[in-house]
């Protein structure tokens, strides 16, 4: 085994703990410095109504994401799967992202899709495509506030976002993706017995534009839920909505891609506080991200529970 692989295998679990420890240190430091502001937060009846609506919209967002995934398997990969059953499976596996490793929800969805009639190759590719589509959607929403990003962080930050977005959108194009899938299928066939028939690799028949728009809808619904959670604690100006949505999208994106944080736990909160700290007090932001995390986890738990109940009544 090459030396670099040995070093990486040794460093990978250590890196996760370092990331998690740094995030927790940052959040504890903010809480220690601003605990009085957090303790003074009061939510009135209108605020609780906002939180309830945020909970409903977040649950709707997860249901929308499950529907998009099922339609991607049906239309983009031509798989004979039942959409309603896959949405239920998506909601039930969603809560598993908080388990250590942050991969078990993907494993559950691949197993559910193959059980529903999809090939293992198509199920795997569809599950791997989803975070790419969500990352592209997050960058698109973040660029709503492009001018504010350029003013605060410089044009280099804005150019970097457009560059990453372009690379991500290109990576999911059939011209780029299909040859990679064909090579993987050939390598898999060579690793097996030559007597076994070669399987047809999963292929994208067209650019997954509908899936991209569906994931963009998912992220906008999540963003509106974040705005309502913020409104429940403190009102903000309409002119601040693009900045809030942009910061939310970038924080959510980092929570998606940074290793060592199941469900983006801690990464999302720390990033949102860092990005919005020049506009709002850290104590207020800590309260907002804490309540939003409660709304998010509660919506995922409710979605998983309702999907399970529906399956029980159907049987």
| Domain residue extents for the chain | 44-190+199-314
Q: Element (H or E) spanning 262, and its range?
A: none
Is residue 84 within 8 Å of 67, Cβ to Cβ?
A: no
Which pair of structure tokens corresponds to residue 14? 């250590």
Please state the rounded mean pLDDT for residues 191-206.
61
Please state the rounded mean pLDDT for residues 196-212.
75
**Furthest-apart CA atoms within the chain: distance in Å:** 71
Please state the rounded mean pLDDT for residues 84-99.
89
Is residue 5 within 8 Å of 12, Cβ to Cβ?
A: no
Distance CA 189, CA 197 (A): 8
Nearest alpha carbon to residue 165 among 139, 134, 132, 131: 139
| pLDDT at 164 exceeding the cut of 70 | yes
Please state the rounded mean pLDDT for residues 80-107.
86
Q: Please, what is the angle between helix 3-39 and helix 267-276, to 10°?
A: 60
Is residue 214 within 8 Å of 68, Cβ to Cβ?
A: yes
- pLDDT tens, 237-269? 998 898 899 999 999 998 888 766 777 778 888
Which of 38-42, 93-97, 133-137, 286-290 is predicted least confidently? Answer: 38-42
pLDDT value for 190 = 60
Please state the rounded mean pLDDT for residues 17-38.
56
| pLDDT at 39 exceeding the cut of 80 | no
Please state the rounded mean pLDDT for residues 305-312.
86
Mean pLDDT computed over every residue of the chain: 82
Looking at per-residue pLDDT, the higher value among 91 and 194 belongs to 91
Q: Band of the pLDDT at 149, cuts 50, 70, 90?
A: low
High-pLDDT (> 90) share of the chain, %: 35
Helix or strand or coil: residue 192? coil
Nearest alpha carbon to residue 72 among 175, 206, 173: 206
Distance CA 252, CA 269 (A): 9
- pLDDT tens, 47-76? 999 999 999 999 999 999 999 999 999 988
- How many other CB atoms are found less than 10 A from the CB of residue 84? 12
Please state the rounded mean pLDDT for residues 220-244.
93
pLDDT value for 213 = 95
Which pair of structure tokens corresponds to residue 174? 């059939």
pTM of the model: 0.85
pLDDT value for 36 = 60
Most confident option among 21-30, 132-141, 172-181: 132-141
């Amino acid at each position: 085994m090459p030396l670099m692989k040995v070093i990486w295998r040794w460093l990978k679990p250590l890196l996760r703990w370092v990331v998690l420890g740094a995030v927790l240190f940052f959040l504890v430091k903010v809480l220690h410095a601003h605990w009085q502001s957090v303790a003074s937060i009061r939510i009135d009846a209108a605020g609780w109504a906002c939180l309830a609506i945020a909970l409903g919209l977040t649950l709707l967002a997860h249901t929308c994401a499950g529907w998009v995934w099922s339609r991607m398997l049906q239309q983009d990969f031509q798989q004979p799967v039942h959409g309603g059953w896959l949405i239920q499976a998506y909601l039930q596996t969603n809560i598993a992202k908080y388990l250590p490793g942050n991969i078990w929800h993907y494993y559950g969805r691949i197993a559910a899709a193959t059980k529903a009639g999809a090939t293992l190759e198509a199920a795997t590719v569809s599950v791997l495509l989803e975070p790419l589509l969500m990352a592209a959607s997050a960058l698109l929403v973040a660029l709503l506030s492009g001018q504010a990003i350029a003013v605060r962080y410089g044009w280099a930050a804005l150019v970097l976002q457009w560059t990453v977005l372009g690379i991500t959108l290109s990576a999911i194009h059939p011209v780029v993706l299909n040859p990679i899938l064909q090579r993987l299928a050939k390598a898999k066939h060579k690793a097996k017995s030559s007597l076994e028939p070669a399987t047809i690799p999963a292929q994208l028949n067209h650019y997954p534009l509908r899936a991209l728009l569906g994931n963009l809808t998912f992220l906008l619904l999540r963003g509106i839920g974040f705005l309502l959670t913020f409104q429940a604690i403190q009102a903000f100006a309409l002119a601040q909505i693009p900045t809030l949505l942009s910061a939310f999208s970038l924080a959510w994106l980092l929570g998606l891609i940074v290793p060592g944080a199941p469900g983006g736990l801690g990464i999302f909160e720390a990033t949102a506080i860092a990005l919005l700290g020049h506009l709002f007090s850290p104590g207020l932001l800590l309260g907002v991200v804490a309540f939003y995390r409660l709304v998010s986890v509660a919506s995922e738990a409710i979605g998983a529970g309702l999907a399970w109940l529906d399956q029980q009544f159907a049987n």
